[in-house]
Amino acid sequence: MKTFSITLCLIIVLNGIVCGQSGEIISKNENTIIKEAMQAIDSLHNLNNFLIDIEIQTIKGEETEGRMNGICLFKNFDESIIVIKFPKKDTGKALLNKNALFYIYFPSIRKTQPVNPTSKLFGNFNTSDVLKPPFSDNYEPHYIDTRGNTHIIEFTTTNEKMPYQKQILYYDYEIKKARYIELYSKSGKLIKTAYYDEYIEINGITYVSTIRIESVLGQTSIMKFSRFQSRVFPENYFSPSGLIIVAESF
């Protein structure tokens, strides 16, 4: 009986050690996946020194309902600009992301003013969906679950300037790419889902080239980046006062 009691105690102790080690391994794996996923999603949007054409289409059924064209100037994550070329009523408007603060230039009055990052750009896209601030600087990650090769990670904002209270990333660990991201309002409601449909590789680095956003109301908008051109921009472009120079130069 004494031998049995000692054996039972040893089994309990060993099980506790194994379970504890297993928990640590799981935690380490989750942390590794979170770190990799955050780096991957930021890398897709970290367009340094690029001039890129942008097109956004709104889709109804199988038909294109509306279209916006323009160009994007990406200096880095913290400094980027959109200049709108079409539709005609918006031609010459320019939007700036400067350290997660957003500004808009109106050519009709030749003035620049602050704008909310949640302000609509075109279709389901707002300005910050295109000129996207980095996850690593503005969100805290939490591992939620795994489904096959897809890991689900919730990013909760740590910066009140961010347009979304949280974003839930569905990350494919096997191919090291984002599947889609659910976007939640400041009140915690799901408002739309961004699907990462196409990628482009430039000099060994992968960037997103097509994003499709579907709203909870069933509206679909598709953004495409094309003609990626390496470009070094003047420092004075990326400021509220510099928007007029950019808008009139491009």
Q: Tell me which of 15-29, 79-93, 168-182 is least confident.
A: 15-29
Name 125's bridge partners: 122
Which tokens sit at 105? 């230039």
Distance CA 168, CA 155 (A): 6
> What's the pLDDT tens digit per position in 94-152?
999 999 999 999 999 999 999 998 899 999 999 999 999 899 999 999 999 999 999 99
Distance CA 124, CA 51 (A): 23
Number of H helices, E strands in the chain: 4, 15
Q: What is the pTM of this model?
A: 0.85
> What's the pLDDT tens digit per position in 151-209?
999 999 998 889 899 999 999 988 889 999 999 998 999 999 999 999 999 999 999 99
Q: Are 123 and 56 in contact (CB under 8 A)?
A: yes
Phi, psi of 26 (to 5 degrees): -60, -45
pLDDT of residue 27: 54
Res 232 pLDDT > 80: yes
